[in-house]
Amino acid sequence: MASEFTGTGDPARSMALLWRGAAEPGPRPGPRPGLDVDRIVSAAVRLADAEGLVALSMRRVAAELGVGAMTLYTHVPGKGELVDLMLDSALAEMYPDERSVVTGGWRARLEAVARANWDLFLRHPWALHVATGRPPLGPGLMRKYELELRAVDGLGLPEVQMDLLVTVVTGFVRGTVGGVQEKADAERVTGITEDQWWAATEPYVAQVFDAERYPTAARVGPVAGEELGAYDPERSFEFGLVRLLDGIGVLVERPSRG
């Protein structure tokens, strides 16, 4: 459950990998590579999608590709950099239709941003656990940042507020998708469904729970559990998104700004 850490090595090498283009395949000595970075990254993404970051190991990825573990190190400096590459490749898939962020009013645009981020984390749950304090500054991230800024461009906001709005909306999604996604993770890893888990745990809760100490929880918990219990992932996201956008509306449509 610890956060994976990303490329800590040579920034030059990392950037060259992230921006690997149709670079010079000029004839070089040595055998022709049978493997390349793209194949490694996509195998790693496939593995992480299916079994989570915990299952992602260099040996597993190598096995998936039918090569020796150490062969990966010919193409990628280490696991941290591989995760960076995975993340950037996942980000690059976002917004297949770039127009979605410049269509409609600010509200529709920001909603498109929120939903795109939501989809990202549903598609690639492991992305949630990648530390982004020093993000991989690759083409995927650059494109994402550009497109999300476009969603809040032209509203007459100062640049700093544009950046803040994007950060807040994407941050909100990160926070909200977390609790939900981890339930699915838990089910996959433990093989125990949400219902089974609750059925096994509830009797012990009943024993220790003191309704006099926690009257509000005693009143709200069962109702919320009943209505949200079958746990519809979208519910708190949709609810929170409306609140957040309403609040952003107060800023954006402030009369003093005409």
Partner DNA sequence: GAGGGACACGGTACGCCGTACGGAGATGGG
Partner DNA sequence: CCCATCTCCGTACGGCGTACCGTGTCCCTC
Say how many residues touch DNA, by CB under 7 A. Answer: 25
In the region spanning residues 208 to 247, those forming contacts with a second copy, defined by CB under 8 A, are: 208-209, 213-217, 219-221, 223-224, 227-228, 235-236, 239-240, 242-247
**Contact track, a second copy, 87-106, x by CB under 8 A:** --------------------
Residue with tokens 């984390």: 121
Burial of 249: CB neighbours in 10 Å, binned 0-12, 13-18, 19+: middle
- The residue range among 15-23, 76-84, 89-97, 178-186 that interacts with DNA, by the rule CB under 7 A, is 76-84
With CB under 5 to 8 Å by kind, the binding choice for 69 among DNA, a second copy, none is DNA
Among 56, 110, 147, 245, contact with DNA (rule: CB under 7 A):
56
CA dist 5 and 25 (Å) reads 31
Q: Is 108 in the site for a second copy (CB under 8 A)?
A: no
For the four alpha carbons of 77, 129, 125 and 175, in that order, the dihedral sign comes to negative
Nearer to DNA, 39 or 143 (CB): 39
Q: CB neighbours of 177 closer than 8 A, spacing ≥ 6?
A: 117, 118, 121, 122, 128, 233, 237
In the region spanning residues 38 to 97, those forming contacts with a second copy, defined by CB under 8 A, are: 52-54, 56, 80, 83
With CB under 5 to 8 Å by kind, the binding choice for 156 among DNA, a second copy, none is none
CA dist 18 and 131 (Å) reads 17
Q: Is 143 in the site for DNA (CB under 7 A)?
A: no
- Whole-number minimum distance, CB 71 to DNA, in Å? 4
DSSP string, 17-71: HHT--S------SSPPPS--HHHHHHHHHHHHHHH-GGG--HHHHHHHHTS-GGG
Output DSSP code: residue 211.
T
Please give the residue ranges that form the binding site for DNA (CB under 7 A): 27-35, 56-60, 67-71, 73-75, 78-80
